[in-house]
Amino acid sequence: MKLHSIFTTAFMVASTLNAFAGDFLDSDQPSSLFTLGVRAGVNTSVHTFDSRFFDVWNVNSWGTGIDAGAVFDINLRQYISIQPGFFFESRSGHYSYINAYTDADGEEAQYTQLGKYRGYFLNIPVLISVKFNLASNVKWIVEAGPYLQLKLHSSDNEIIDVMTFPEKDVIALEKVSANSSDFGLKIGSGILVNEHYSFSIHYLAGGRDVWKAPFDGGRNKAWTFTVGYNF
């Protein structure tokens, strides 16, 4: 009798979990193959400079900007889609660097660089978007995939490196330019309400050196916060 009760209970639990899983993750055919959405919001970002070039003091602060663009869902099932996107982004930040050098008298000295930058970019992510049913009209979204970032324009986006020649007591200035493109990983999560209204948070981790050789190094990092509407 006890063994029968155990099997009955286990069957009921399994049936309940299976039904819950079916409700939580809808694997039915999508109601439409394609979905177009628009997104807008703000970001906070930073791009770093390798500490081996500024070893006394190397600080990069997070700045703010805007994100605006569109996404195009290719729906494979109700719960999963491939989502290319196109975003216009502005990014900003401040930097503070101190480096040491030896002057003409052979004594240690330091020079300081303070500055700010603002750049404008086209960001093209291709994400896998998975939707979990939290309620009849609320879905939890989890997304991840690669992105490509192309620089459109930047101002004050160059570091001035100071090269010293103690024997001549001359300091030469050399511009260190940022690369015009980046690629990396974009991951995020959000909420979709009534199949139309969304709020999302994403993190973007750059995978390419920010600065051109010979001062290569550094990484782009950003958080984005967007609201959207799916048509």
Q: How many residues does the chain have?
A: 231
Task: Give Cα 139 distance to the centre of its chain.
Answer: 22
The per-residue pLDDT for range 13-43, each reduced to its tens digit, is 444 434 444 577 888 888 889 999 999 999 9
Taken in order of first residue, the domains within the chain and their CATH numbers are 33-230 (2.40.160.20)
- Encode pLDDT of 77-131 as tens digits: 999 999 999 999 999 988 888 877 776 677 777 777 777 888 999 999 999 999 9
- Dump pLDDT digits (tens) for 53-86: 777 788 888 999 999 999 999 999 999 999 999 9
pLDDT, tens only, 179-195: 889 999 999 999 999 99
Of 124, 142, 19, whose CA–CA distance to 81 is shortest? 142
Q: Is the dihedral of CA 177, 182, 188, 192 positive or negative?
A: positive
More confidently predicted of 143 and 212:
143
